[in-house]
Amino acid sequence: MTTRRDEAATIARGNDPSRIRPWLCALALALALAVPAQPLRAQGDVIVSHGYSNFGELKYPADMKHLDYVNPDAPKGGEISIWAQGNFDSFNQYAREGVGAALNTIGSESVLTGTYDDPYGLYCLLCTTLEYPADLSFVTFNLRDDVTFADGTPMTAEDVAFSFNLFMTQGIPEYRVIVQGFIEEVVVEGPYRITFRFNPESSVRDRVGVAGGTPVFSKAWFEKTGARLDRATREPFMSTGAYVLDSFDFNRRVVYRRNPDYWGYDHPFNIGRNNFDTIRVEYFADSDAAFEGFKAGAYTFRTESSSQDWATNYNFRAVNQGWVKREEIPSGDVGTRLAWVFNLDRPKWQDERVRRAIGMMFNFEWSNRTLFYDLYQRPVSFWPNTDLAATGLPSEAEAALLKPLVDEGLLPADILTEEASVPVQNGSETNRPDRRTIRAASALLDEAGWTMGSDGVRRNAAGELLTMEIIQFNPLYDRVINPYIENLALLGVRATLRRMDTAQYVERRRKGDFDMTTQAFDMSFEPSIGLEQWFSSKTADDSSRNLMRLRNPAIDRLIGHVIAATTLDDLRTAVHALDRALRRVGFDIPLWYNPETWVAYYDFYRHPDPLPPLSVGELDLWWYDAEAADRLRAAGAIR
Question: What is the SS3 string spanning 359-409?
Answer: HCCCCHHHHHHHCCCCCCECCCCCCCCCCCCCCCCCCHHHHHHHHHHHHCC
Q: How far is CA 270 from CA 237, 256, 291, 304, 620, in A?
A: 21, 18, 33, 28, 9
Question: Cβ neighbours of residue 396 under 8 Å, at least 6 residues apart?
Answer: none
> CB-based contacts of 351: which residues, under 8 Å, 6+ apart?
448
SS3 186: strand
Q: What is the CA radius of gyration of the chain?
A: 25
Helix (H) or strand (E) holding 310: helix 307-312
d(CA 499, CA 243): 35
End-to-end, the C-alpha distance of the chain in Å comes to 32
Distances (CA, A) of 234 to 2, 15, 74, 99, 501: 25, 16, 33, 11, 21
Residue closest to 276 by CA, chosen among 597, 603, 604: 604
Contact 588, 548 (CB under 8 A): yes
Burial degree of 392 (CB within 10 A; 0-12, 13-18, 19+): exposed
Among 113, 71, 86, 520, smallest CA distance to 272 is for 71
Q: What is the pLDDT of residue 235?
A: 96
Cα–Cα dist 187/330, whole Å: 45
Residue 134: count other Cβ atoms within 10 Å of its Cβ. Answer: 11
CATH topology for the 8-64+108-235 domain:
Dipeptide-binding Protein; domain 1 (3.90.76)
* Spatial distance between the Cα atoms of 4 and 22, rounded to a whole number of angstroms: 6
Of 250, 449, 249, 277, residue with least CA distance to 350: 449
Report if pTM > 0.75: yes
pLDDT at 376: 97
d(CA 244, CA 108): 9
Burial of 338 (0-12, 13-18, 19+ CB in 10 A): buried
Q: Would you give the distance in Å from CA 377 to the centre of its chain?
A: 19
Q: For the chain, how are helix, strand and coil distributed in percent, rounded to 5? A: 30, 20, 50
A 10 A CB-CB count for 289 gives 14
Query: Which pLDDT belongs to residue 428?
Result: 65
Report residues of the chain scoring pLDDT below 70. Answer: 1-44, 426-428
Pairing, β 605-606 against β 127-133 = unpaired
φ/ψ of residue 377, rounded to 5: -120, 155
Contacts for 620 with CB less than 8 Å, ≥ 6 apart: 1, 273, 274
Question: Residue 631: what pLDDT?
Answer: 97
- Is the Cβ–Cβ distance between 31 and 112 less than 8 Å? yes
b (16+ CB within 10 A) / e for 83-97: bbbbebebbbbbbbe
Residue 248: CB atoms within 10 A of its CB come to 18
CA separation, residue 280 to residues 258, 303, 566 (Å) = 11, 14, 43
Domain ranges of the chain: 8-64+108-235, 337-592
Q: Whose CA is closest to 573, among 400, 453, 438?
A: 400
> Residue 276: CB partners within 8 Å, gap ≥ 6?
76, 77, 78, 79, 80, 258, 619, 622, 623, 624
For residues 301 and 278, the answer to whether their CB atoms sit within 8 Å is no
Contacts of 556 (CB under 8 A, 6+ apart): 536, 537, 538
In degrees, rounded to 5, the angle at the alpha carbon of residue 122 between the alpha carbons of residues 119 and 128 is: 155
Q: What is the pLDDT of residue 540?
A: 95
Q: Which CATH number fits domain 337-592: 3.90.650.10, 3.90.920.20, 3.10.105.10, 3.30.530.20?
A: 3.10.105.10
Instruction: Return d(Cα 351, Cα 328) in angstroms, integer.
Output: 41
pLDDT value at position 77?
Answer: 98
* Sign of the C-alpha dihedral computed for residues 563, 568, 573 and 575 taken in this order: positive
3-state secondary structure 541-566: CCCCCCCCCCCCHHHHHHHHHHHHCC
